[in-house]
Amino acid sequence: MISKNVLVTGGAGYIGSHACKALKAAGYTPIAYDNCSTGWEEAVKFGPLVKADLMDQAALKETFERYQPIAIMHFAALSQVGESMQEPGRYWRENVTGALNLVEAAVEAKCFNFVFSSTCATYGDQDNVVLDEDSVQLPINAYGASKKAIEGILQDFGTANGLRHMIFRYFNVAGADPDAEVGEFHQPETHLIPLMLDAVDGKRDALTIFGTDYDTADGTCIRDYVHVCDLVDAHVLGLKWLLDGKGNRIFNLGTGDGFSVREVINHSRAITNREVPYVEGARRAGDCTKLVSGSNRAVSELGWEPKRSNLHAMISDAWRWHQNVANHYKK
């Protein structure tokens, strides 16, 4: 019997756990590989968990031998822009070396289908343009630079060893599983929507708006948001693309539009029927005014349909999950 196992690194994390659910629904068995430093064992509901680190080459080898996956979805990474500017060595070491270990283990095991969760941070600070896959990559922090380096690793191993790869670049992921089986829960939390909902729910005193003097209509920066379920749907489509024998490809995932911080706050009021307590703070280093990623190529070539990537669905689904999150994940 041909294996339908897919190794999902970071499978206990926010995006990875949603990917595991989508893979299970599509007929695959997701094997979550996660050290659970930021992920949650409770989020692993759709297949087995291998609790191990990408720096552990022996554990990787054993995992490939035991489960014989037909493909990899690689989500595991350090991902905080601010932290990467303060601790660049950690990001280069863990993100790049971890990915290299994974790729080498995959090639040794003859697992040649690799779906990679990259980022539009590889494009750097290119304000007020809709970024596409051909935009120049000029990362301005170690997070974006480390992801760009991993893209290079995949391309080099593709040339040398025939590794087939699908690369997805995207910015802000939001929302939660509409069934509230899994959702977004970080400690510490850094993402706008869960921070906002914490403030709404009294779990923190106030949301901080970092910068109110940007050159936008309301002075706050603008970001492109993609619903996590739409995002992982694209990853499943990317997996099928590779398994069908199609070539290596890079896709941006976004709406082509963006929302300002104040727009997100205002929309939250309509959904939760509660005010959002907030304070205004200074800009953060590394933040730019407007980052928007188009996805015309993903729509036309992959047949991707971002059905829930609107503020109402993203905040509503996140709020539904948020109201029960304390009962879901515990360290």
329 is catalytic: no
Cis peptide, bond prior to residue 277, ω within 30 of zero: no
Q: Could you tell me the two tokens for 270?
A: 């309509």
3-state secondary structure of 242: helix
CA distances from 62 to 23, 58, 59, 94 (A): 22, 6, 5, 20
- Asked if residues 259 and 329 have their Cβ atoms less than 8 Å apart, the reply is no
- What are the strands of the beta sheet with 71-74, ordered from one edge? 49-51, 29-34, 5-9, 71-74, 113-117, 164-170, 249-253
Amino acid letter, residue 315: I
**Alpha-helical regions (H) of the chain:** 14-25, 57-67, 81-86, 88-91, 98-108, 142-161, 192-200, 228-243, 261-272, 296-297, 311-322
Going by the DSSP 8-state scheme, the letter that residue 118 receives in this structure is -
**Active-site pick, 143, 170, 214, 225:** 143
- Cα distance between residue 263 and residue 307, in whole Å: 20
| Residue among 41, 3, 4 at smallest CA distance from 24 | 4
Which residues participate in catalysis according to the annotation?
143
